[in-house]
Chains A and B, each alone.
Chain A
Amino acid sequence: MDTDQNTNPHLPPRPAQPPVARHWLTRVTQRSLAKALNTVIEPWVDVAGDVAAINAGQAIRVGERFLVNGRRYQQEATGRLYPVDGVGLHRLDRGAFRALGVYNEFGLSERAEEILDSRNIRSQARHIGRTVYLTRQGGRP
């Protein structure tokens, strides 16, 4: 029997798997399905490292939530993690997520703005989408 499994309260109840692709900031497109709230991950974040740390019991576990390297993840019954908040994570409402998808595909261009106009995406959502889009080029803060 694995002693560590029995004694380390920070081990996940089941092996943790990385978040699904929709959470990667650079993978969001203008066709991506948006939820009311969506958390995306900046490209520099070492998600594989976070997952490995969680599986090694090196994260701080509270229930189904894990804090590791300044980021919080929650584990689903399937074993999959989803990002919650923290360094390099952004929580976007549907409008900002949709704006990000358009910027990812069309850049900060007139075409992008025309498409956002046609979709009636508000200026505040565009601003957030642009800000998050720009982090893909900025690297780790």
Chain B
Amino acid sequence: MIWEDVLLPRWFEAPDLARAFGDALHLDPQQVMVVDEAADAVGRVTEMTPLLLQRTPVAGEFCLHVAAFPRQADLARIDEWAVLRTICSQLHAACLIPDDGFADSTWLEMQADGTIERVMLDADALDRDEYYIVRRKVLATA
């Protein structure tokens, strides 16, 4: 699902992410666990935790990687674009996501208003795990 790996342009506190992803996936924020270290989730997630998020700071224009680990199959049945739109809207932020191709430098960016752009990232920066947009083209407006 397109929202399983999302890059955001600024750091967000755990409650903000829990609320945004929770709203998008029709979950109570309390059902969303946000961790910074993989080990922090071990022994803490339960059947009452349908969604686990891990935050990782990254370098570049998009400085926060949120990896989402859905733990309930029915989350996959929710329209993934609608999920992403709600996340962007709730956070008032653009989201950078990988597209479905194999190329490394072509990605998609969804703005807070739902506009989707195809973007090209700086390939040299990508080699250092840094994310900078060098070109963009609007694909769909909100």
Identify the interface centre among A37, A120, A121: most chain B CB within 10 Å of its CB: A120
CB neighbours of B41 from chain A (8 A):
115, 118-119
Closest to B33 in A: A118
Determine if B7 is an interface residue (Cβ-Cβ < 8 Å): yes
Contact between B105 and A76, CB atoms less than 8 A apart: yes
> Of A36, A78, A102, which one neighbours B100 at CB under 8 angstroms?
A36
Known A-B contacts A34-B5, A36-B98, A36-B100; the reply to A22 vs B129 at CB < 8 A is: yes
Determine if A140 is an interface residue (Cβ-Cβ < 8 Å): no
In Å, the complex CA distance between A117 and B39 comes to 11
Determine if B48 is an interface residue (Cβ-Cβ < 8 Å): no
Determine if A84 is an interface residue (Cβ-Cβ < 8 Å): yes
CB neighbours of B103 from chain A (8 A):
74, 76, 82
Contact between A33 and B42, CB atoms less than 8 A apart: no
Contact between A30 and B102, CB atoms less than 8 A apart: no
A26–chain B nearest beta-carbon distance, Å? 15
Contact between A33 and B123, CB atoms less than 8 A apart: no
A3-11, A13-21, A42-50: which lies at the B interface?
A13-21
> Of B4, B7, B42, B98, which one neighbours A118 at CB under 8 angstroms?
B42
In Å, the complex CA distance between A117 and B120 comes to 35
Known A-B contacts A76-B103, A119-B52; the reply to A35 vs B38 at CB < 8 A is: no
> Of A21, A33, A82, which one neighbours B5 at CB under 8 angstroms?
A33
Closest to A35 in B: B98
Those of A97-116 within 8 Å (CB) of chain B: 98, 102, 105, 111, 114-115
B73–chain A nearest beta-carbon distance, Å? 9
Contact between A20 and B126, CB atoms less than 8 A apart: yes
> Of B54, B65, B70, which one neighbours A120 at CB under 8 angstroms?
B70
A20–chain B nearest beta-carbon distance, Å? 4
> Of A21, A39, A120, which one neighbours B71 at CB under 8 angstroms?
A120
Contact between A80 and B123, CB atoms less than 8 A apart: yes
CB neighbours of A35 from chain B (8 A):
5, 98, 100, 102
Identify the interface centre among A35, A79, A82: most chain B CB within 10 Å of its CB: A35
> Of B38, B56, B106, B123, which one neighbours A115 at CB under 8 angstroms?
B38
Determine if B13 is an interface residue (Cβ-Cβ < 8 Å): no
Known A-B contacts A17-B123, A118-B52; the reply to A76 vs B104 at CB < 8 A is: yes
Selected A-B contacts with CB under 8 Å, 27 pairs: A19-B104, A20-B123, A20-B127, A22-B126, A33-B5, A33-B7, A33-B65, A35-B5, A37-B100, A37-B102, A39-B102, A76-B103, A76-B105, A76-B123, A80-B123, A82-B103, A84-B102, A94-B4, A94-B5, A102-B38, A115-B41, A118-B41, A118-B42, A119-B41, A119-B71, A120-B69, A121-B69
